[in-house]
Structure 1
Amino acid sequence: MPRSELSFSGYQAMWLFAMFDLPVKTRKERRDYTRFRNLLLDEGFSQLQYSVYARFCASEQITDTHRKRLRKKLPPDGQVRLLAVTDRQFGKMQVFFGRKRTDVESKPSQLTLF
């Protein structure tokens, strides 16, 4: 049965946040920072703020897969925090630019396979 659009429960779908504070004093530290940031982008994360990235995951199982991948490639120094919240919780986030409120990022569109 082909589906034109997949639907996800707001309680099953997750957003995985990666928040980090990495040293960049030496050339090696800057290289480690760049590698980690590029890893996040390659894994489908989007930058929300400086050093705060998020990725939509259709299920908690997919979230765990990405957590494990990131854990294997953590930089040797600095601090990295991973936090998973439900899509419903993510949708309750309030975002402001200055004093003006803006919309929260939306889920990425899903690829439809025939």
Structure 2
Amino acid sequence: MRMLVMFDMPTTTSIERHNYRIFVKELEREGFVRIQFSVYVKICTNFLETKETEKQLIPFIREDCIVQSLVLTEKQYANMHFLSGTSIKDVRNISKRLLIL
């Protein structure tokens, strides 16, 4: 399963940009990979892991931000369509790489 995190954060002031960088670094530390400017994705083994990941991110979210998460199955993620632009042919977009332990 995949967990998408989509966010909108103000970056007008230097403090807002600093908070943005801290949040993005936390996403990367948690194993997320950027797929668009404010959209990150992470592979999770189960629903419980997605809930734990959300709990880890909450302390890094400021009041003036909008942050949403969405959990998708591998099949749902693989059915993503590119209406504009081209798919990058790497492991982030290929469901065949999934290894079930």
Q: Could you tell me the TM-score, scaled by structure 2's length?
A: 0.81
Structure 2: 5+ residue stretches without partners: none
- 1 CA distance for matches of 2:11 and 2:88? 32
The CA deviation at 1:73 is 2.2
The CA deviation at 1:96 is 5.2
- 2 CA distance for matches of 1:17 and 1:79? 14
For residues 58-105 of structure 1, the C-alpha deviation after alignment (integer angstroms, 9 at most, x for no partner) is: 11111111111112321232211111111121111123553x566571
Q: Which has the higher helix share?
A: 2
**Which residue is equivalent to 1:59?**
46
Structure 1: 5+ residue stretches without partners: 1-13
Amino acid at match of 2:13: T
List 4+ stretches of structure 1 deviating above 3 A.
100-104, 107-110
- Does the CA-based 8 Å contact 2:22-2:60 persist in structure 1? no
- Does the CA-based 8 Å contact 1:95-1:102 persist in structure 2? no
Percent identity at matched positions?
Answer: 30
Larger radius of gyration: 1
RMSD: 2.4
**Which residue is equivalent to 2:80?**
93
- 1 CA distance for matches of 2:65 and 2:52? 22
Give the secondary-structure state (helix, strand or coil) at the position aligned to 2:31. coil
In the alignment, does 2:57 pair up with 1:70?
yes
- For residues 1-114 of structure 1, what are the structure 2 equivalents within 5 Å? 14-95=1-82, 98=85, 105-106=93-94
Paired residues in the alignment total: 97
For residues 46-68 of structure 1, the C-alpha deviation after alignment (integer angstroms, 9 at most, x for no partner) is: 00011000000011111111111
- Does the CA-based 8 Å contact 2:4-2:71 persist in structure 1? yes
